[in-house]
Amino acid sequence: MAALSGRNPSALWVALLTAASTATTLALGCATPFPSLAALAAVHMRRRDGLALMLLAWAASQLVGFVLLGYPSDGSTLGWAAGLGTAALGSALASYAALGALQYRSVAARLSLVYAAGFTAFKAIILGWALILGGLHSVMAPDLLAEQFVRNAAILIGLYALYRALVAAGVPAPPQAATA
């Protein structure tokens, strides 16, 4: 791993976080933690790498859903696949935008605020797709929103712990916008 990580830390981190999100997707029945990934990427990766992470995590979640979990390939399901892709990218863009507006130095404060921005953008985009594809009552139910917010926050904590553990073990941190 040292040779690979020394050559391209960005690609390594995109792959590692995609693998972690795929494991989460499998464990939670295709509930990929896009807002969690967006927050971690915004705080620790360049925008280009963060967007690549979101696209790869989205593709992996679609592969899991359609190949392993047997999702139907009807128009509605394919529409929701597109919706999730746009929401994943929107979540990342909102997280990066929020990070640019922050003056906080604390990683916890930055992660918390960009997570809130990413989650809000993700759900706003999902709302737009629900208006087109249906299912508004289920995607915007207050109890479901609260559960998803808390679950994704817990996943963010776990992903951050994984990130810190891997960096402590010698995996080079990905380049950030300020150093890129």
The type of residue at 86 is T
| 74 φ/ψ angles, rounded to the nearest 5 degrees | -85, 170
Q: Are 170 and 2 in contact (CB under 8 A)?
A: yes
Q: What's the confidence (pLDDT) of residue 103? A: 80
Q: How confident is the model at residue 155 (pLDDT cuts 50, 70, 90)?
A: very high
Q: Mean pLDDT across the stretch 99-107?
A: 86
| 33 φ/ψ angles, rounded to the nearest 5 degrees | -85, 65
Q: What's the confidence (pLDDT) of residue 46? A: 93
* pLDDT tens sequence across 16-73: 888 888 888 788 766 789 999 999 999 999 999 999 999 999 999 999 889 988 889 9
Q: How confident is the model at residue 177 (pLDDT cuts 50, 70, 90)?
A: low
Q: What's the confidence (pLDDT) of residue 178? A: 53
Q: Mean pLDDT across the stretch 100-118?
A: 91
Look at residue 8 and tell me whether its pLDDT is greater than 50. Answer: yes
Residues of the chain above pLDDT 70, percent: 93
Question: What's the mean per-residue pLDDT of the chain?
Answer: 89
User: CB neighbours of 111 closer than 8 A, spacing ≥ 6?
Assistant: 39, 40, 43, 156, 160
Q: Mean pLDDT across the stretch 82-111?
A: 93
Q: What's the confidence (pLDDT) of residue 158? A: 92
Please, what is the Cα angle at 113 between 93 and 115, to 5 degrees? 55
Please, what is the Cα angle at 68 between 63 and 69, to 5 degrees? 105
The type of residue at 121 is A
Q: How far apart are CA 28 and CA 92, in angstroms?
A: 21
